[in-house]
Structure 1
Amino acid sequence: MTAVVGEPAPSAASAASAGLPVAGLPVPDLSVEALAAVTAEIASTAAAYDRTGEIPLPGLAAAHRAGLLTATVAPQFGGPGVGQVDMARILIALGEGDASVGLIAANNLGTHQIQGLAASWPPAYYADLLRRSVAGVALANSVRAEPELGAPARGGLPKTTVTRTADGWVLNGRKAYATGGTALAYHVVWVVADEPGGDPERPRVGHVVVPGDLPGITWIDTWDHLGLRASNTHDVEYTNVELPADAFVEIPRGPDGVYRDPAAMASIGLFGHPALYIGVARAARSAFVRYAQERVPTALGRPIATTDRIQAAAGEIDAQIAQAETLLFGVLLRAQSGDTDHLPQLSVLKVQIARSVIAAVNAAVAVLGNPGLSRHLPFERLLRDVLCVRVHPPQEDTALLASGRRLLGL
């Protein structure tokens, strides 16, 4: 796999000379026509990278040239600072082209958006990421899950630690599902602090910002998945990785003792992951229309698009996508207008979007029979990809349980 990490990162101790904001970040063209052109370019290589599992560099490069990978960089850092509605439009377009590109981009855009809200990175590191982002594809992602713990959304603390030293920190541990793999320029790693005088019952918990090319970082090729095969969501092991003192950013506790992670709190309103899977459903709809118009069985003597069965299936696909899009943009536009009444329902709204996009793609596959499952056509790949929407937190059982308890006053 090819790394896209550029030259070594600067020491965070040089933050005073970091030079933020960074000039040269483009303002993306978010017109329907421009986004459609990026979708088409990314789609042209999606099937090939799904088969090889390699990092989809051409698709990421297309997104970079269009300014879509840095669209959420905040104005104070020299970026365009697009809002949640436009971020969703970007991710729909990228997901329609290639779900793996969409997922890697969603994580990168979310990282920039959170930095705009919390500004928690060491300034020199973030300036370096932005400088690399001007020159080419430069990616960052939160690395949180662990083989033993699983996804942190269900509770628990990480086993990965940073141990205090005289000069900074030393990072040790293994993480799972680190999307982006060796293409990551920076990792934002969830850790427990091991430090003199610390309370072992209430340790400090936070993130360390880690340049992806430091010694002691080893990638373990564990990603052999049904869908999103080019996302490079492998395991990564950190062995005595040395970091400066300001690389650790503590996550504060609330009055109830629960950790209040700014990244987790911000991400619930982004709806980036559901957006990219709406793009996958759109791709299935377009492929279904093309196939239905071009397929002329000998016994029928005309395109299958002229049959009631195919027309009804097309209507079902369209209805499910319309429902998902209306939910997504309804959530975001209401929040943008200052309406907060729906915020307690965000998790179940994500669940409903997931159900709709899966139903849309499944409707296309089900009506086509063998062609829907053939690797010569895109439907089976799109079905595999869209099923991955269920993995992203909050997962369905957690969301429904929390919603039910809230409704019942429990």
Structure 2
Amino acid sequence: MKFLNKIKRPKGLIFEDNKKSFTIRLSFIFQGVRCKEQFLRRNKPSSNNKEDIAEFERKIKKEIKIAENKLGQINHEICLGVFSYSKHFPGSNRVGLFEDEVKKDVLVKKLLEDYEEVCLEGVVAYSSSLSHSKTIRGILIPSFGDILIKELNKNMIRKWSKEKSKTIKSKTIKNYLSILKLAIQPAVDEKVIPENPLLGLGIDSVLMKDSMISDFEVNPFSIDEIEIILEVAEGQDENLFQTAFFTGLRTSEIIGLKWSKVDFENRVIKIDMARVKGKDKVLKTATKGVRSRNVAMLDQAYEALINQKEITYGASDYVFIDPLNKGPWGDSAKIRKRIWIPLIKRTGLKYRNPYQTRHSYACLMIKNNENVFWIADQMGHTGIEMINRHYGKFIHDKDKVYIPKITKD
């Protein structure tokens, strides 16, 4: 009585379908070691009674779902650095192995490498795993790798943070430290060190004041400047940036846009994917509840997409393609380096990054007295807080005379 052909096996679960029993094992990586632990073992019905067999299959399918959730919890705890082997598998022979290994005087480098491997296994988003790996290899291991975990302390980290703040922003430093914190948490869980030195660090008091100033600035292009940019741009470049200026899409959303999402009849663009580091992924707003949105096609965006249709429709699933390989753009950085920077130089305008196309859209809509709730929805925000925070000064522009839509008879 075999079940393997009848049951779909989720990733990370191992089935052992023997003559008399059915076993489910969980497969995961912890501290660089591939672990396979038994989740359950069930004896099969002794008879060939159809009702008994059907009931057994029903229970197994239910157990598989529970096992899948259990594995998800384990991988999540590993990612956060709070996984305890003895808690989940107290009877496993590996408990002693991991306790003995962690209780040795390990270098911070080992903990960082273990965390990097967990990230690359897919526990975090693909783009985040690459970013974490780059930070670990390029920043954290050179800075802290040769220090014994027992010797790493708050004072060391504060001194390092102060020195770094002379050249980089505080937000970047804090992003680095958040990765370090997660990487060394297993040493706390296994009681190698009494507490995580990243807890209660309070680095704001030691950072250089200039590093606390955000690089974020809303510096939109005026309608006259937009016209200059579009006059200088040609072909697909013109279509791409005209679409950007009059939809407010992020560059990653534009290069991930497919023709199947463009509805010319109803003048709507469905945005549910973005392209990051060569891969299509869900929107960055998905974690905040906005998994997709419908963006109205203003006349200018409609015109740009109609023109673009003559270039790529039927030749590619993607609306905008990389002319060098005739495939989709890998990421927004290539757009900036190869198209945007040379284009702005040719216009003679003051340089601003490509994200300002999105800010320009928001400000144009605000100056046109469009409803701020509609603007927020078009841009993928869950409310108007972001609109008020970033564009408040444009909403309250004194040079703009607001004309109420409702007037007294």
The TM-score range, normalised by the shorter chain, is: under 0.3
TM-score normalized with structure 2 length: 0.26
TM-score normalized with structure 1 length: 0.26
Question: Higher Cα Rg: structure 1 or 2?
Answer: 2
Higher RCO (CA < 8 A, seq sep 6+): 1
